[in-house]
Structures are given as C-alpha cells and as structure tokens.
C-alpha cells in the first residue's frame, strides 16, 4: 500500500520572488553599513535556507553598487540616495554583469577564511603591507592599525597615525576603515585616512568613491566623497560633524608627500609641524613661546631633518635655534640682542 504524504501549496512554504528581492534588499542595506556578528550569523542561516536567496542578494548588492556610483557623479558629495528593492529585470539586464560577479563572490564565501591582525610602523618608518584580501596599505611613520576580515566584511581600525589604502575589488564584502568618530566605507577606491591627536579624522580620496558614516547611520551631509575631495570629521558634543572641501590637483602631491620622505605644510602651526616631525625622529622640536608656536608654516621639508627644518623656520620667523640635549629649541630672539 502506497503511503501518500500530503504537502501544502508551494507558495505556503516558499517565499515569492518579490519577497526574496525585498529581503535581499534588506540584507544589502545591512551589509552596506557593516554587519554585527549576530547579523552575520543570521545572514548565513538565511542564505542556507533557500538556494534562490543567493541570487536575490546578488541582485540587491548590484543595485546598491550602481546607485552609489551614480550618486557620486562628478565626485560631488551628495545626500543619502534612497535604495529600494531592485527590479528583477533591471538587475538581469542593466546590472547583469555585476550581479554575476556578486553571485560568484557570494558562492565563494565558504572558502574565505576569517583573518585578523595588527600592523604598525616605528618612528621614521613608512611601511607598505598587503592585507589578507589583497588590499595594499601604506602606513605612515608611527602608525598602528588592526584588521578583521571575514567572508562578509573587511574592517580596518586605524588607532594612530595615517595610512593610504588601495582597496582590493570585492563587490560582496564592503571595506570599512574606523578612525576616531568616523567610519569610512570604500567603494572601489584609493584614499588616505589620518587620525589626528585630537581624534579628528581627515579623509582624502585619490580615486573612486568613499562613504562617510558615524557608525550605523550615514552623516547628514557630505556622505559620499569622490576623487579630489577631502573631508575632516570631528565630534562636537553628541554629533559627528564633517567638513568637506574640494582639493586643487597639486594638493594631492603635497598631502601624499610623506610617502616619499617629505613633510608638507600649508598654514599648519609651528606646534603642529613640530609634532609631525616627532613621528619621524627621536629628536624633539621644542617651542616654549606660545605665540611663536602658533605661527603658520608653509613649505616642503625632509622628514628626517628636523634640525634643518628648525633652522629654516628660525630664519623666516626671526627666531634662533639652540640644542638642549637631544631637543631642538626654537625661541624668539630677545630684544636688544643680535
């Protein structure tokens, strides 16, 4: 005698195509700002529950990618772009190639082993390192960062100093840099992140697009930065405030001069310049006079020659240089002396 097993309608047990796309869009939005460990585990379970979900996530990721590239046309920062569940026909036609790339990436999640680590550079040392995902990072002197790379996202935390990132292309795993109060998400880009002593974060984009966030929520202004733009992110009270500026082409070489062993200043105070030299040398530049320390400095100097810098500045500011042990002291010339 045959045993018949009754089954309910297929629609009762399986999500519709529209439901799949809506849920895929929700996961794409979560991945866009970074997943927690709990969310990552939930995503794994969701993907395992139905083979069609892989395609839904791929279409959603492709739609996110296209929308963010479009919203940064001309490199101008724009407001948050609204993203809705992707149209299936659009994803298969207009974004088919990218969707296929995303599918391939998601299918490869199982063999991408999680990795974490720490990279640091010493005083006067500029290091070039390659992360587990293929991203190349150039660490400025006296800089320190940590990495956490898994099959869902790539997160770098800049703890001190400055770094230049050449991000490896991966449409599935977003790349985040955390520095101070800011979180920078890379979208096929090369960019510099500098964490200043006051926890202010500066971001310079050389190529591609980056998105600025203050954790989970996008910043109200200047969210997307294209090539040629710089943003400074500071915390005022409970708010994260970005200041966005367009850079002249020649500014790039000046701001990246540290990679070639030079320090460039354009209106920085003498105190700020002295602090920068400390990251490259054991000798310390001391400026006892507060008004002298506040003088603006402009010029290009060898990072390994603090004494040469001090002497050049002393001439331009009418000051004098003396040695006090290993310290280089810049002081005003007393009245009545020559």
253-301 pLDDT, tens digit each: 888 999 999 999 989 999 999 999 999 999 999 999 999 999 999 999 9
Are residues 91 and 157 part of one domain? no
Q: What percent of the chain has pLDDT over 70?
A: 73
Are residues 273 and 327 part of one domain? yes
3-class DSSP state of 20: helix
**Which residue shows structure tokens 């997160």?**
155
In a domain, 83, yes or no: yes
Contact 167/135 with Cβ under 8 angstroms?
A: yes
pLDDT at position 153 is 86
Strand order in the sheet with 285-286: 285-286, 327-332, 319-324
Are residues 70 and 32 part of one domain? yes
In a domain, 174, yes or no: yes
Domain boundary residue among 197, 230, 250? 250
3-class DSSP state of 102: helix
188 pLDDT above the threshold of 60: yes
Domain boundary residue among 111, 137, 165? 111
Closest CA to 171 of 183, 153, 150: 153
The structural domain count of the chain equals: 3
What is the sign of the dihedral through the CA atoms of 103, 109, 115 and 116? Answer: positive
6 pLDDT above the threshold of 50: no
In a domain, 22, yes or no: yes
Are residues 216 and 147 part of one domain? yes
**Which domain covers residue 285, as residue numbers?**
261-332
In a domain, 2, yes or no: no
Are residues 328 and 234 part of one domain? no
pLDDT at position 337 is 58
Provide, for the chain, the percentages of residues in helix, strand and coil under a 3-state DSSP scheme, each rounded to the nearest 5. Answer: 35, 35, 35
Mean predicted confidence (pLDDT) in 139-156: 93
Are residues 198 and 71 part of one domain? no
Q: What are the b/e assignments for 226-238, b being 16+ CB within 10 Å?
A: bbbbbbbbbbeee
297-317 pLDDT, tens digit each: 999 999 999 999 999 999 999
In a domain, 338, yes or no: no
- Separation between Cα atoms, residue 124 and residue 280, nearest integer Å: 4
In a domain, 205, yes or no: yes
Contact 254/300 with Cβ under 8 angstroms?
A: yes
- In terms of phi and psi (left: phi > 0; alpha: psi -120 to 50; beta: otherwise), the region of 16 is beta
> CB-based contacts of 126: which residues, under 8 Å, 6+ apart?
138, 139, 140, 141, 258, 259, 261
Are residues 174 and 137 part of one domain? yes
3-class DSSP state of 141: coil
In a domain, 268, yes or no: yes
Report the CATH number at residue 161: 2.60.120.1440
Are residues 239 and 209 part of one domain? yes
Instruction: HSE, CB side, 13 Å, CA atoms: give it for residue 284.
Output: 6
Are residues 246 and 119 part of one domain? yes
Q: What are the b/e assignments for 289-313, b being 16+ CB within 10 Å?
A: eeebbebebeeebebebbeebbbeb
- Separation between Cα atoms, residue 320 and residue 54, nearest integer Å: 69
The better pLDDT of the pair 64, 10 is held by 64
In a domain, 47, yes or no: yes
Are residues 184 and 98 part of one domain? no
Are residues 145 and 52 part of one domain? no
Are residues 226 and 187 part of one domain? yes
11-41 pLDDT, tens digit each: 345 788 778 888 888 887 777 666 777 877 7
pLDDT at position 335 is 67
pTM (whole model) above 0.75: no
Identify the top-confidence range among 54-68, 115-129, 205-219: 115-129
Domain boundary residue among 111, 134, 160? 111
pLDDT at position 54 is 74
Q: Are strands 175-179 and 154-166 parallel, antiparallel or unpaired?
A: parallel
Report the CATH number at residue 326: 3.55.50.30
């Amino acid at each position: 005698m045959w045993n018949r097993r009754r089954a309910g309608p297929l629609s009762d047990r399986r999500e519709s195509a529209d439901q799949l796309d809506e849920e895929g869009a929700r996961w794409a939005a979560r991945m866009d700002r970074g997943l927690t460990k709990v969310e990552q585990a939930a995503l794994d379970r969701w993907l395992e529950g139905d083979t069609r979900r892989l395609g839904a996530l791929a279409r959603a990721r492709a739609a996110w990618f296209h929308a963010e590239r479009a919203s940064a046309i001309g490199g101008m920062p724009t407001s948050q772009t609204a993203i809705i569940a992707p149209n299936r026909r659009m994803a298969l036609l207009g974004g088919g190639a990218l969707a296929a790339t995303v599918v391939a990436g998601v299918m490869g999640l199982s063999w991408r082993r999680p990795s974490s680590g720490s990279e640091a550079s010493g005083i006067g040392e500029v290091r070039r390192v390659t992360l587990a995902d293929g991203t190349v990072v150039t660490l400025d002197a006296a800089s320190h960062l940590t990495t956490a790379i898994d099959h869902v996202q790539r997160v770098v935390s800049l703890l001190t100093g400055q770094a230049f990132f050449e991000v490896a292309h991966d449409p599935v795993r977003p790349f985040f840099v955390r520095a101070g109060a800011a979180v920078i998400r890379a979208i096929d880009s090369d960019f510099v992140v500098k964490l200043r002593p006051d926890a202010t974060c500066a971001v310079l984009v050389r190529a591609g697009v980056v998105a600025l966030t203050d954790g989970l929520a996008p910043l109200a202004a200047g969210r997307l930065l294209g090539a040629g733009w710089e943003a400074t992110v500071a915390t005022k009270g409970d708010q994260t405030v970005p200041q966005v500026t367009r850079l002249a082409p020649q500014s790039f070489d000046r701001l990246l001069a540290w990679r070639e062993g030079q320090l460039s200043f354009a209106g920085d105070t003498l105190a700020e310049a002295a602090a920068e030299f400390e990251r490259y040398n054991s000798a310390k530049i001391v400026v006892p006079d507060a008004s002298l320390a506040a003088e603006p400095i402009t010029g290009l100097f060898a990072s390994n020659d603090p004494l040469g810098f001090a002497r050049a500045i002393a001439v331009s500011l009418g000051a004098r240089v003396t040695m006090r042990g290993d310290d280089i002291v810049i002081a005003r010339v007393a009245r009545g002396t020559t």
